[in-house]
Structure 1
Amino acid sequence: MSKKKVLFTVELDQSGRDLLDQNDIEIIVSPDQKEETFIKILKEEKIDAIITRVDPITPAMMDASPNLKVVAKHGVGLDNIDVDYATKKGIQVTWAPGGNANSVAEHTLMLLFMVARRVRHVDQELRGGNYNVRYTLKNTYELGGHTLGLIGCGRIGQMLAEKAACLGMKVIGYDPYQKQENMKAPITLKDSKEEVLKEADFISLHLPGTPETHRSFGMADFKAMKKTASLVNCARGEVVNTEDLIEAIKAGEIVGAALDVFEQEPLPMDSPLYDMEEVILTPHTAATTREAVYNCCTMAATGVIEVLKGEPVSYPVNHLDNLEYR
């Protein structure tokens, strides 16, 4: 009997490889991240499973292999997978809920510290020989005693709230899908996004990338924020209107921003964001701790193994009860 085959759209951690090897599943790693390359491999190798991080999994890819039974997400954001099409074709989609949540929450907290203390500006001045920059700093703040506003209060937002509260921050949030009586984290939910924007000293976004959230945070939101406030985004780059963000900072509508995600990735080298001392940038690294990578990779591999063996799926995205291969 021939081995089952899984396509890695990019190379993944050894922990996932080990699990797949132990279950006699052959791994094929794509040499690049082009859709035509993925389709070629899927067709020629008659791939049974795909594991992806951020690479799009399209209908054309799902049509390319008659053997394809499962698409596993190395992480939680599902905007790169056409889940509806997968469901129509009877393809199981799995994910890694919570696998990188603490890592992202910690990274967000780090960015809060960095934007509050204007670390980019200070670092730049010091490297230029200005050791006395400390005497001229403006708009630097302690986090304790200030208000953190969350737009989106899911797993990561709640983890961040717990950490921020330990620092003495007041945490408020807006999430139409959450109820105060069910909220275990120290978050006071508000009735509208506008209330949060008006009251918070720091805004942290925790929204999924969907058609509804696409560029949903723009100039009107920046104008609603305090002029001393800053924005942090470790969620999805496309939820923020980048041009509006740049203009808002230049116009003094907000003090600054810290971004781990961008509308276009990699961030184009001609982006004005690179030259703005009020902006902290990291290259989509919030979920790249050793712990998060291990969790997400092993959870994705587990999903592949369970589906290909016909076992109950631990982390299903879509619920398929009558798949032929089971």
Structure 2
Amino acid sequence: MEPTLRQILRAHRRIAPYIHRTPILTSATANQLTGLNVFFKTENFQKTGSFKARGAINGILSLQERKPNVKGVVTHSSGNHGLALAWAAQQLKMPCLVVVPENTAAVKINAVKTYGAEVVLSQPTPQARKLLCKELSAEKSYEIIEPFDNYDVIAGQATIAIELMEQVSDLEAIVVPVGGGGLSAGIALATKLSKPHIRVLMVEPKGKELAKSMKAGNWMWDGPDRNFSTVADSINRQHLGKLTWPIVLKYAESDVLTVEDEEIIQGMKFAFQRLKIVVEPASATGLTSLLTRKLQKINSSLQNVGVIVCGGNVDLDHLPWYDHQASK
């Protein structure tokens, strides 16, 4: 069953000793350019540099409550979740194994290893890495902590919305990036179960095509899960999860904000230059949807808008405005 508000609040208390209560950032320039009062929830300042630390630590702590003798944990991840689970396992003195695609940047692999986790390379498809993760789980008797399709992980991510609503009392909407759906499902759940008048809008990179499914009210993508090409590479999977999809369909707005790569790059530059924060491309999608007035076109009455800045793990040797231009 999907997490209840009581379970989300319990997760909030459970993980509080381990994580940062991330600050709210405001910008007069952003407000002027968007015509809104924008409140940035800066999860780029979270442990390991992304919101994923919340779900990872709640995943392990919840698992330990149910199974006190857990031998270790394993996951599959191309970046932030693997890093977060490695950190969480280190905090709790537990062995951790992370399956990553063989084309993962060395800087990401090395970051996972710094937290003491073992890294195993897989073929670069969602199916291949998930299968290898399952095999290693059986071989080592480790518990799998899925990157997003796990109710404990979803509850951990939901704590972001609890904090945001405590920090900003008069929110009217929250804009959240969507990849596999763990973050957006958590934000939508926590928000709608506690303050149902607040709208939760997902923002996707062009190519994901979630907007079609949300408008139709059922999943429109019949093919296998795949990674599509976008500068926002941490949210580049086509499918949502089996657990996350029903939650966002039920609680998030049917209008999905779609942003293109060039727009994301400009939003990322704005964050670097004007907000003075380092954000990864996925983190810039929410800001981008406001700067390009995609949200305002959907609902011109909104004024106080929260934006989830999901992470700041950037490969400085491969900034997207250089790589994207070189690929043309």
TM-score, normalised relative to structure 2 = 0.31
**By percentage of residues, which structure has more helix?**
2
- Structure showing greater radius of gyration is 1
